[in-house]
Structure 1
Amino acid sequence: MPSTTLFTPYGPGCGVSWMTLVDLKQSFTTGRPAFTCASCHAIFESGDAQRTHYQSDWHRYNLRRKVSELPPVTEAIFGQRLYAFLNPDEKAPKPEGLKMECQACRKSFASENSYANHLKSKKHLENETVGLGEPKLVIKPKAKANPELNKDSYLDQDATEEQIREALESKLSMARRLKPEECIFCNHSFESFNDNMEHMVKDHGLYVPDLEFVEDLPGMISYLADKVSVAFCCLYCNASVQPFTSIESVRRHMLDKGHLKIRFDDEGMQELADFYNYEEILSDDGDDEFVDVDDEGEFESALVISPDETELILPSGKRLGNRAYRKYYKQNLPVERDERPSRRSEHQALISRMSDHYLAAGMMQPAAERKYIIDQRRDGERRKEWDQKVSVRANRLQEYFRIQLRQ
């Protein structure tokens, strides 16, 4: 049987032919080297053509068919299928897509074959035997994506700031923003923001880093909700990851990947820096305990006297009062408090409940342990700084000697 040369997209020099037993036998009898592909049943005239074939889509397509225990297809058939896939408009119009659901397992399927395979699965048979429901076919039309929402969602690289601002405003106007009472990770809605936070912490395991330093927790959660519902971005993935097409897809991604958490690294904390306040830690660093008094002139110039000349202000910001007013400083006056309930008290109560849940789950260390670790780190930094100052001062004690040579 003569070999039939097929159409190849690599040019006439490749010499790709459909391999038959006669061709293979002739290659061995004539002494001509046989460059073949077992997956595609093809024979080549040179090794370069064989290596080029291994990088083609036809070869990869037959490899997938081989894994599925299907026979290979010729290059002509593959070209027809590829052309039909790239030009779907030339085919007859297909009916509107339908979605089939199994009431027993509460799952949906896009084709009849997948639904038939599901009916034979072990999980479906178990659900059917325990009485969760009999197999019932429910056909519903597939939900179509909103074309207006995805329109102009991607801008050119040379877009101006005005174009970017207009695109953001149009997307915000068309997108549905989540309310503070709605969960970020599911469709549940609650009566208050506190109930929603307790749900996300207990059911989804949401962990807020450095919770005690969060200054605006509702604003932070609102920003994260807009990131998911408006921008369709994952909370944990970095900015280089392409956004998803819908809120359902990004929720499914976070659930499957375990990304129901806030990113706690330099990039993530820089994004949420406006919602934190670390002034208490930064101000209480104890730098005023170690003061280099060698340069007395510089130290005295750094001291500032208050306008009423009753207090001395140190470089660290602390104030030293006059001894003549010590009886006033010793007074312990009650602090006047507002009797009306404030949102700050509710905010602190919510943070306290969340901290208790984190401590019980082992997700956060007690405050005493954290303070001990912070103090140890500060002591080490101050010790290194002090050793460096002593070493610099000791350089002045170094005596330089010239090598004494006997003449």
Structure 2
Amino acid sequence: MDSVLTVPSGSSIPTNAQNTPLFTCIACQVAFYSAEQQRTHYRSDWHRYNLKRKVADLPPVTAESFAQRVLSQQAQAVENTKRAEFSADCSVCKKTYGTENSFNNHLNSKKHKETEARMLRRMQEDEDVRAEQEAIAESIAAAVAQVPGPAEGSADDEQPRVLKATDFPMSDEESDEDSGEIEDGEQSMEVEVGDSEELVRRKEEREIKRQLHQATTEEEVVKLLEKKKAAAPRLSPDADCIFCPHQSDSFESNMEHMSLAHSLFVPDLEFIVDLRGLIKYLADKVSVANVCLYCNGRGRALQSLEAVRRHMLDKGHTKIAYETEIDILEISDFYDFSSTYPDADEADADMQLDVVRPGGRQSAAPRMEEDEGELVLPSGTRIGHRSLQRYYKQTIPSEQPEKESVVIHKMLTNYANNPEYNNQLIQSSRNRAVILAQPNGQRAWKDIATFKENRARQNFQTRVGVKANRLQIFYREQNPQ
């Protein structure tokens, strides 16, 4: 089939068209009446486009169709430029997106919706707190305005009137709720001091927490931490349980509750000298510093006493950290391991007490007391004369309060009778304190740990070898052919 040649619409037709030869373009299937028109056509984009289609074995396109394609490509380029310049910010998640599609996908994502809900809930809580504070301020202002002023010349001019709980007005709903507490028809307003103090404390802690997140300087952080420390609740070792809101009548019953209900184990109990002080320190650590007793600051930060208690109960961390050297040194002030120290040499007992400094002055070292015949060092160790060596070698129990000694003796008996504490008792009893007290004790303790690790590894390899029946280190064919 022969190709049909067409004449471009823009070309001029000469008068002698029938006798004039045509200049054709095979790629575009068009004809021209002059060579100049043909050369101009060869330099056009339409001709180049049809040449590429001819190489790909595609039919040529007309000039009108090529013009439409050029216009569509220009519109597409403009749209792509607009997309490239697109930029959207998410104020909730603090993120920036460069394309509209990714921004729309983010708005419909679950994470964005959860973050937005959290932000709205936090804003609502702040608004409620602000409204409540304004209501309290208005109530106080109204109560102060209702107080009558003192008469002129009276003796009460210099003594301000003390506001009572009955001076503050209450709403109708609050009065209806408290009507059940009114006895004998007495129309008075009663305020529970404990609940109000707890509510105020929680609001103050929440406000301090919000200010800590917004603090920018170290001075502000230190000031807020001191304020948080002053506002934090204090747990009494005689009544309050460290791990739950349980209240006890005495220190002994409180220790019994924590041991039975929460499996609290006090390590090296026979060497402790201040059990009440240790429990008080642990209680302040939980209530004031909001630190888990076992994590000891190595986990995530907790913000309240309830959060620390919930963490310790959920994780089973109702125990004292006593594994690393830092944990042991932290509570070492409540222990006395002097009975496990090796005896000093006789030469050390006769050492010089007055140390001469380079300037020629003598240091104010403690001197031997002639009456008692012993020397008390700054560390608390007592050094006696060599003539009384037989007496100083005796192991004299430390002086403890009678009540604490009874509690410690009872706890030791419970630990010995309860098989749950056997492994902990064997692990912590004397071994660590005795080894660490020796010269190079820390290295010896590490050597023991390394020995135990190697022995466990060898036992495991032996079990694997026996089970697999591959004790030989070489292979020998049993039935050679």
State the TM-score, normalized to the length of structure 2: 0.40
User: More helix per residue: 1 or 2?
Assistant: 2
CA radius of gyration, larger in? 2
State the TM-score, normalized to the length of structure 1: 0.46
